[in-house]
Chain A
Amino acid sequence: MRGIILFIVMALHSVVAQELSITATVNKNPVGVDEEFTYTVEIRGQTRSLPEVELPEFQDFIIIAGPSVSTAFQMINFKMSATRTYQLVLLPKKPGRFTIPPAEATHGGETIRSNAIELTVVQGSPRRQPSSRQRSRRGRKEEADLSKSVFLRAVPSRQSVYLHEQVNLVYKIYFRLNIQNPEYIKLPETVGFWVEEYPLKSLPVRQETLNGVPYNVVEVRKLALFPTRAGKLTITPMKVAVDVILRQRRRDPFDIFDNFFDNPFGKRIRRVLTSNEVTIRVKPLPAEGQPSDFAGLVGDFRVTTSMDQKEVETNQAVSYTVKITGNGHLDFLNQLPLQFPSTFEVYEPKVKTQKGLTGRSMSTSKTYEYVLIPRVPGKFTIASFRIPFFDPSKQEYRVLRTPEYHIEVKQGSGFEDRLAGGVVAKEEVKFLGKDIRFIKERLEGLQPIGYRPYRAWWFWIGLLVPVLGLVLAYGYREHREKMQTNVEYARRRRASKQARQRLKQAHRWLKQNRFAECYAEISRALTGYLADKTNRPAAGLLKEEVESLLKQHQVNGELLSRLMQCLDEADFYRFAPTGAAPEDARRCYQTAEKLLEELEKYF
């Protein structure tokens, strides 16, 4: 009973008294770019149950191995003390100064952190931290041996190719020591290429002699590259990590511990192999003889076409297949330059691409399957088309040609056939031709540049004339109406016309030498004129009245006296028994004519 209590107290004590510490270390600092180093985190405390350590993230490093975890227990002064170690083998990605953030562990609601590590990564081989002279020398010798006996080479099949022509690139590990667990660390950057990777199922080991030295060779990666631009293209090195098994020399065959702790299969070292850089010169395709519809196809190709039916009814689907096979990259080929009759409904083709990577060059095939639905009966032709390509082996352009197909479409009997009768979508109809309408061949609307009719004089005259016309027409109608209804107006308007008629009559009498009638007519013309103008009865117009009337109208005295004189003369001769002299009558007539003219101004 006592013992149990004591145990509990001890256990409690151990919980309370425990003290956790966590530290992080690296085995090298500075370190070279291509050099791996070990990062170690150690957590220790007086407890049996150490918490899990959360390792930091290594953004600037590649984890080659680990983390490997080992735990050790110790009893010191009856106290249990435990140590757990996490080990990682890391490889820097680039030179510079980096900080490895602290590792963390949480225990009893408390977080404890390790130290952060400032690490310098230098270009090339680093200065070695001298820890022990002997070890250093041994290490260097080991390394020199290693790079000669295990290395990675990138071997291009050719140094110089045409644009879009295939070039193969093989990555081989040459080794004289046993290797295990190859792993890609960094893949090459293949800017300017389309890349297809050869599938490598097993890694067969072959024998190869290089500079007189026999090596075991294994191909770890094989790429088919298709350059997409001309010039010098560079492929950056690839990095592969492998375990190298070193055969251990026995330093002391009788040293039991040495023998015991050495791996019976040899010492295992994780190594990073870096390949050489590869430069490929890409020649542009010859401009001479290049067809205008050349789309960039390079290789050696054949084309086959097939059509499943040659005679169909309307609205029945026909399948038209074009298959292009050969060696070379067919991704450069997108749409086929196919023209179908416009009354065919054409769906997007089903495209299947197959790539076979065996042997020296990639064999590809691309199948286009078109589904055509003829909507209108008739005989149609699916035109032949051509696909030009460049054959690098013959160094010339060649052309693939497809045959022409004739297809007969009969009127179908289905409901849809009777209904539709060849209706194509509206937009298609609108621009079916895809070409503009032909020029106009007759010159019709020629006019001076900037000519506007409303800037021409006739336009404005044309506007004005009808207005004037209407005004005139209106005035004339008014006049005509007045002549019929208004006596005074009619007499006034007719006065001069009538006076002139009378004078004409007088002239006639004059010619016939009938002077009395002539004088009477002159008198009547003048008095009648005045009577009409002033709307008085003509018969009763006496001389005195005439005189006062004229004065009312402010006729000047000289004209008045002349008029009176003329009237007097006329009255005199009218009734004179002797008759007048012809000259007098003529003169009187002329005076009357003149008088009438002058009077017009006053009335």
Chain B
Amino acid sequence: MVRMFDLLIIGFGGIIGTGLLAQPDLTYYFEQGNAAYRQQDYAAAIDWYQKILEQGYESPEVYFNLGNCHFKRGEVGKAILYFEKAQKLAPDDADIAFNLELTRLRIIDRVDVPPRFFLFQWWDTIKYFWTPAQWARVFLALWMGFFFLGVVYLYVSREQIRQWVKSLLWILGMMAVMAGYFFVVNAREDSRRIQAIVMGPSVTVYSAPEENSTEMFIIHEGLKVEVKEQRAGWAKIVLPDGKQGWIREEQLAVI
């Protein structure tokens, strides 16, 4: 309950913040960045885009353009990091998906993930069809629709319409439950799962969070890993194929 209250406070602060801070500045930065990019001055473009982030704002477009700049500068790790960030905000954007895939061709590590059972694949497709934020909105809309229809049901007197409304209520209810489920699952994952991109050109993975423990394998810049645990400057990572190990935290950048 305390947690929920906190969330409310944070959310409230966020809304107030959105209203108060001046936005025209940010579009100015964005356009300056675009102009620099067109003149192939990628370092300057990066600076402009970073200014937007420094103001505490993000958008898929800013991340996408940052990824492009880093790609042009040959910084594969950073390019992938920003494309991933962009994709997290806009998972169904074709441009982001294209550039991300193209950049992935440049990284050294090819981790083969065994194909999952097709039902799980479908499940994941539905689960990641929207971002947690989008799922929240969908759920809210369905929820409101359900209750509104409930009120309609109470006051409609004609039996035929009542039957119609009733079956519609069933459908809407089921959809709301499903959307609610996916929203909760997504939001949980969003707040607990940490994914990161390897930044060092070549990073040794150790069996324990110590420099002198056994070296297990080597990964390279641009690989996406999951962070399971963090301890005293070390992070326990899991590769897409399930390999685990410890690396220094500064070799990672969280998406």
Contacts and interface: CB of A to CB of B under 8 A. Distances in A.
Most buried by A among B37, B136, B190: B136
Given A448-B56, A451-B14, A439 B34 contact: yes
Nearest to B183: A454
Given A462-B140, A470-B151, A447 B18 contact: yes
Contact of B102 (A431, A453, A457, A459): A431
Interface string B46-88: 0000000100111111101100100110000000000000000
Contacts of A454: 7, 11, 132-133, 136, 183, 187
A440 B95 contact: yes
Contacts of B181: none
A296 to B, nearest CB: 22
Interface in A455-476: 455-460, 462-463, 465-467, 469-470, 473-474
A373 B147 CA distance: 65
B103 interface: yes
A308 interface: no
Contact of A455 (B11, B61, B90): B11
B70 to A, nearest CB: 10
Nearest to B103: A436
A473 B15 CA distance: 31
A445 B144 contact: no
A437 interface: yes
A536 interface: no
B176 to A, nearest CB: 10
B66 to A, nearest CB: 9
Contact of A448 (B12, B57, B95, B148): B57
A252 interface: no
Nearest to A477: B154
B202 interface: no
A558 interface: no
Interface stretch (B22-30, B215-223, B239-247): B22-30
Contacts of B89: 445
A423 interface: no
A203 interface: no
Contacts, number: 128
Contacts of B56: 448-449
B57 A473 contact: no
A466 B14 contact: no
B170 interface: no
B129 interface: no
A386 to B, nearest CB: 23
Interface string B98-135: 11001101000000000000000000000000001100
Contacts of B136: 452-454, 459
B17 interface: yes
Contacts of A448: 14, 17-18, 56-58
A442 B59 CA distance: 11
A436 B99 contact: yes
B92 to A, nearest CB: 12
Given A448-B57, A458-B15, A439 B68 contact: yes
B177 interface: no
B190 A452 contact: yes
A415 to B, nearest CB: 35
A210 interface: no
B77 to A, nearest CB: 15
A72 interface: no
A442 B146 CA distance: 36
A444 interface: yes
A446 B25 CA distance: 12
B58 A473 contact: no
A436 B61 CA distance: 15
Contact of B57 (A435, A442, A446): A446
B74 to A, nearest CB: 12
B105 A431 contact: yes
B174 interface: no
Contacts of A446: 23, 26, 57-59, 62
A581 interface: no
B54 to A, nearest CB: 10
A466 B144 contact: yes
Nearest to A436: B99
Contact of A460 (B8, B14, B26, B65): B8
Interface in A471-487: 473-474, 477
B10 interface: yes
B143 interface: yes
Contact of A466 (B17, B62, B95, B146): B146
A477 B156 CA distance: 11
Contacts of B98: 436-437
B150 interface: yes
Contacts of B146: 466
B254 to A, nearest CB: 12
Contact of A467 (B34, B58, B103, B147): B147
A298 to B, nearest CB: 29
A437 B183 contact: no
Nearest to B95: A437
A255 interface: no
B132 A452 contact: yes
Contacts of A441: 34
B193 interface: no
A437 B101 CA distance: 11
A467 B187 CA distance: 22
Nearest to B68: A439
B120 to A, nearest CB: 25
A437 B14 CA distance: 33
Interface of B: 4, 7-8, 10-12, 14-15, 17-18, 23, 26-27, 30, 34, 37, 53, 56-62, 64-65, 68, 71-72, 89-90, 95, 98-99, 102-103, 105, 132-133, 136-137, 140, 143-144, 146-148, 150-151, 154-155, 183, 187, 190
16 contacts: A436-B103, A439-B65, A443-B61, A443-B62, A444-B61, A446-B26, A447-B58, A447-B59, A448-B58, A451-B18, A452-B133, A453-B11, A456-B15, A459-B11, A463-B143, A470-B151
**9 closest cross-chain pairs (CB), A and B:** A466-B147, A456-B11, A454-B136, A440-B61, A455-B11, A439-B65, A473-B151, A436-B99, A446-B59
Given A440-B65, A462-B143, 6 more contacts: A451-B14, A452-B187, A454-B183, A455-B8, A459-B11, A466-B148
